[in-house]
Structure 1
């Protein structure tokens, strides 16, 4: 049990260090200017990042009012609005093209499990799991449509978006109908459409 507790604390420490560390960043501002420096995302609301030009500078929080998009540690992020919602958030770019694919990380925290150690002191251990939640848009539309997470069971949304985004590519539709491509292959589907469909 002590080993499990130690591993959990270690993983939590790694996650915290990753969240609070700065990486190389390039920020594209709404006025057309571009700045390079160091930044990190604020995971509480997916609305702002902290950015500074030099490592010793004081970081400034910025959001969609000033920023169009940004690149952090080689990953590209765009500010988008989920269709049917009002909040503007940043999403990581998975594929960009005639159809663009975005995703965010959803974390589910499990209830803590309690126990008693040999000294009589109580403790609790909680676990969390993460999955990628996908969103889709035509071209570079400001609005994106929420699809699903890869481990979800619903196929309704997947079947609904197929004619909306890929109806002009019969070859791709045939591959989906024959189940060569399934919901879990959404990245390959978008890639096929962008590069192999005329």
Structure 2
């Protein structure tokens, strides 16, 4: 059922972000712009001050991030982009981040901010890999379940590190992944070990970490 909701979320997100929405843009020069914005598939943002204005295209070189307003109905509470429908219910926040791989970082892309603080949590949802036939060819109309990937980022760094995936049959142990990050923070690690935190509690876990340890230097 959850995979079905994620699939609906992925499909509807194209409509949510392909339309002009009330938005606030945060430029790298410190300027803040308010108007209408549309996130595009090429990781740029098309912005107008109002419906009559000429559009301006922003990318990662000029834009740090944005908030897109989205007042939700009860139905939309279920089909949001991603799993966590109770976080920032009236808007989505996105920042340009590079995803750190073993030997390189990706080009900057817009990731949704779920938790801000000393350790930030970001997510993205993508279509699952197509299912393959016994001959090794892709089967039309049989894309796998969507995958939600979570990333963490320390102290507003420009890149994020992969944390965990959910959906699409991908299953790295939540306990193993979480302990690898929080092993030196006993108030979080103990709750991971006794299963107070489970996969569905990723947002709560990061919020608790920032509340307990965020102000320490």
1:123-168 deviations in whole A, cap 9, x for unaligned?
Answer: xx9466434211101121111011222233112x86255344x344
Deviation at 1:13, TM superposition (A): 9.4
Deviates more, 1:73-82 or 1:129-138: 129-138
Taking a change above 3 Å as real, the CA distance of residues 173 and 89 of structure 1, as seen in their structure-2 partners, is: same
Taking a change above 3 Å as real, the CA distance of residues 172 and 17 of structure 1, as seen in their structure-2 partners, is: closer
- What 5-or-longer segments of structure 1 have no aligned partner? 1-10, 112-124
Q: Does structure 1 residue 190 correspond to structure 2 residue 206?
A: yes
User: Which residue of 75, 80, 97 maps to 2:117?
Assistant: 97
Q: Does structure 1 residue 70 correspond to structure 2 residue 66?
A: yes
1:34-77 deviations in whole A, cap 9, x for unaligned?
Answer: 1101011113x4x2111111112232221111101111122111
The normalised TM-score by structure 1 is: 0.74
The size of the alignment, in residue pairs, is 171
Match of 2:32 in 1: 34
Q: Which runs of 4+ in 1 moved over 6 A?
A: 11-15
Larger radius of gyration, structure 1 or 2? Answer: 1
Higher normalized helix content (fraction of residues): 1
Match of 1:79 in 2: 96
Match of 1:154 in 2: 172
Aligned residue runs from structure 1 range 171-182, under 5 A = 171-182=187-198
The normalised TM-score by structure 2 is: 0.68
Relative contact order, CA 8 A, sep 6+: which one is greater? Answer: 2
Deviation at 1:19, TM superposition (A): 4.2
